[in-house]
Structures are given as C-alpha cells and as structure tokens.
Amino acid sequence: MGLEKYIYIKQHMNTQDHCLIATNFEFPNQKSFYKGKVRDVYAVGDKLIMVASDRISAFDVVLPKAIPYKGQVLNQIAEHFLMATQDIVPNWFLESPDPNVAVGEACNPFKIEMVIRGYLAGHAWRTYEAGGRILCGEEMPDGMKQNDAFPNPIITPTTKAEAGHDEDISRTEILEQNLVTADEWVTLERFTRLLFKRGQEMANKQGLILVDTKYEFGKKGKNIYLIDEIHTPDSSRYFYLEGYEDRQKNGEPQKQLSKEFVREWLMQHHFQGKENQVMPEMPEDFVTEVSERYIQLYELITGKTFIKADTQNILNRVSGNIMKYLKS
C-alpha cells in the first residue's frame, strides 16, 4: 500500500465536497426514513434501502468531518461477508444498486446487539484495566494482558439505543426484560458464534485476526435473519496476524486495522463522548489517514482491489442508481 496509491485522496482532502455526508431522498412508495449515526435507511414498499454515508462515529458521537470512500468501503465489505455467510444464517441482503447502497428485506430488529470478543481489547480491556472481571455477566480470567486471546470467545451484548449510548447488558437481563425469548437467545448465540468463527477463518486466510465484532438480527415472520452490516471496520476490530505473538511477548502494541485508532486519537485529545467534553478538530492529514486505513482494510480483508466510485456528484449518483433499481 504505497503512498502513490492514495495521491488522489491526498490532493482532494481539503474539501468535503466529494463525501456523502447526508441524504434526504423521497422515493415512490416510501414509508419511512431513519437517519442512523452512519447509515440513512429508507423503507420503500416491503424493502429497506440502506445508504452508507461517509460519516464516521466514535463513542456514539458523529464526528464533524466525513471520511472519503468510507461508505463505499463499509457497504462493499458488508456485501462480501453477507454473501459468504448465507449458509450459516439467512440474511436481509438482496442487491447493491450503487457502491454506497444495499437493498434488502425489511425485518423487525431485536433491540440488542450481539457483541462477541475473542481478545481482551477495546472496551473489554478498559473494563479489565479498571479492575473489572465481569462484563455482561461473562467472567474475564485474572492474569491477562491487553490483547491476549480469551480461552473461549465471550458474548457481551449491548442494548440498541435509538439515540445516545448503547449500554452493556447480560443474558439474564435480556431475558428478564423480554427483549428476546429463551429460545431466540439460544438461536442468536449459536448464530453469533458460527458467524464469528467463519469471520476469523476468513480473516486468517488474509493475514489478519478478527478480534471482536457485533451482529444484529431481526425477524420476518417466524424466521430469524442477520441484518445490517457485518465484519466491517465500523463494527469490528482486526489485528495483523504476522508478528502478533512476538508483540504480545514483548509487551508491544498490536498493529491493527479498525476504528479503534480513531477512538485512541480522540482520547489523546481528551474526548470520549462524555458531558462537557469538546470534540477536537480533525486535521486534514488525519482524515486522509483514516480514509487510507479503511481502503487498506477493504483490500486486505477481501483480497480485492478497491475501485473508487465517481464522487464528483455523489448525491445524484446514489439517488439515480436507486431510482433505476426501483423502476426495474
């Protein structure tokens, strides 16, 4: 991944004009519109149209600057993994009429996110470092170092907040609050572990370690579907496989491809999304670095060359391609 590969980005990072920052489309038979932190979701007929913007969030806060090509990266990585896991669990995805757009089945989502962790990193490490040994009802063994592998992956669900912060929640609390039934929980846990195992196997083949991730599920009729994105840098953390053991033995930081480095940059600038904290200004060179890392992760995890879509008039491109799909 040489610098010359990204010279186009570096020459154009002084503007957000080529980023997909927000949409406000109106389609025939549109039933509703929902703006998430990163995705704009349109319910049209019995389908969902999910537009991956170039917005980036951390600590449940949308950052002021968008990241060029981020939405395309997320959408196309998600498509890659949804197609590769259909044998494990049916998923919502049907078609991608635009590099930033996925169309799929509308499902009734469960109000939890199934987070699964194979390594002591991120939120789990921050909890552990502060002395905690129980996370969402799961025990984390004594004597672990940051980024060590757990004996077995642990599932640490969160609530699915429509606004504000998602909250940790245990299996017991989920059942007590009737967020899912006991039978549904068994199915969700089984799917989560099988998907994570497949994701780790695919990552290892590409020289990466899938550290942790989250899955979202919903129901259509009596059937459970995998919904939203999977195994993208917005929902997952990756380490480089080569040198992992040596870095752990030497107490060195792991080389990683994920959004964690954005969180770390924000923490270094005294921001964690807490009350009265001021969002730092992201310099253009850091925006460039974030874009490069997203593109690099796409190419590493999929084994494909990233082909940049035309962003000269990205709003018209996206709306035009969606309309062509709807008319067809």
Write down the H helix ranges in the chain.
7-12, 70-84, 122-129, 171-176, 182-205, 244-249, 260-268, 284-302, 314-327
Mean pLDDT in residue range 42-61:
93
Which of 211-225, 230-244, 265-279 has the largest mean confidence? 211-225
pLDDT tens figures, 138-151: 999 999 999 999 99
Cβ distance 201 to 208 under 8 Å?
A: no
According to the model, what pLDDT value does residue 10 have? 43
**What average pLDDT does the segment 281-293 reach?**
89
Tens digits of per-residue pLDDT, 187-220? 999 999 999 999 999 999 999 999 999 999 999 9
d(CA 50, CA 227): 11
Q: At what angle do helices 70-84 and 284-302 cross, to 10 degrees?
A: 20
Note whether 3-108+309-327 and 109-258 share their fold.
no
Mean pLDDT of 311-325: 96
Domain 109-258 has CATH 3.30.470.20: yes
- Alpha-carbon dihedral angle through residues 254, 257, 261, 262, given to the nearest 10 degrees: -170
| Boundaries of every domain in the chain | 3-108+309-327, 109-258
Quote the mean pLDDT of the chain. 92
Whether the pLDDT of residue 14 is over 60: the answer is no
Q: Is the pLDDT of residue 12 over 70?
A: no
Reported pTM: 0.87
pLDDT tier at 15, thresholds 50, 70, 90 = low
Tokens 């959004």 sit on residue:
259
Alpha carbons 32 and 29: distance in angstroms, whole number:
9
Tell me the torsion sign for CA atoms 192, 72, 219, 181. positive
Superfamily classification of domain 3-108+309-327: Phosphorylase Kinase; domain 1 (3.30.200.20)
The tens digit of pLDDT for each residue in 99-118 reads: 999 999 999 999 999 999 99
Q: pLDDT at residue 163 above 60? A: no
